[in-house]
A = this chain, B = another copy of it.
Amino acid sequence: MPEQSATRSDNFVQLTFLSKPENVAFARVAIAAFAAQLPFTLEEIDEIKVATSEAVSNCVIHGYPDSLGIVTLRADLVDGSLRLEVKDEGVGIADLAAAKEATFSTDPERMGLGLVFMESFMDEMHIESAPGRGTTVVMTKRPTSSAQENVNDRQSDHEL
């Protein structure tokens, strides 16, 4: 069993993939499978899937608007929380404050809700961007339920 010192990662996975729309589903399913190592409820797993989907979709549409690029997604289990870092090396965001506003989108066909969903569905969300160099989103989420209630995947109903 892992020891938990200050903020040591007990486990991590990193996904590196092309910025293609068809990889968005792959990314959220993979992260959901990894997140299942913590005692998240099914509803929380759904929220993590939406947040992952939004962050990766943004890299695909906004980060690399005219070309294919590499998206990097790292997930860590840190002190019982899930930490997600989603990174592209694309065009970046010129005006971060504007980007964060609900319903703001540089694409008239889009709703401008991606960052709002990431903030609502995760406990913490930070976004950093350098125009011309890329964007990184870091999100964390902690299971609300106590570990005890949800370890049934690990525990047996020993009913003798």
Seen from chain A, the residues whose Cβ lies within 8 Å of a Cβ on chain B are: 1, 11-18, 20, 22-23, 25-26, 29-30, 33-34, 36-37, 70
Contact A18 B11 (CB under 8 A): yes
Query: A11 vs B71: C-alpha distance in the bound complex, in angstroms?
Result: 13
- Would A26 and B1 count as touching, CB distance under 8 A? no
A14 to B71, CA, bound (A): 10
Determine which of B11, B15, B33, B34 lies in contact with A13 in the assembled complex, contact meaning CB atoms within 8 Å. B15
What CA separation (Å) do A88 and B107 show in the bound complex? 43
Given contacts A13-B17, A16-B16, A29-B29, 12 further A-B contacts (CB under 8 A): A11-B20, A11-B23, A13-B16, A13-B18, A14-B17, A15-B15, A15-B30, A22-B37, A25-B33, A25-B36, A26-B33, A26-B37
Name A1's closest neighbour in chain B (CB-CB): B70
Interfacial chain B residues near A14, Cβ < 8 Å: 15-17
Closest 9 CB pairs of A and B: A30-B30, A29-B33, A13-B17, A14-B16, A26-B34, A26-B33, A22-B37, A15-B15, A11-B18
Among residues of B, the one whose C-beta sits closest to the C-beta of A30 is B30
Verify A26–B30 contact, CB threshold 8 A. Answer: yes
A29-B30, A70-B1 as given contacts; A12 in contact with B22, CB under 8 Å: no
How far apart sit A33 and B26, CA to CA, in the bound complex (Å)? 5
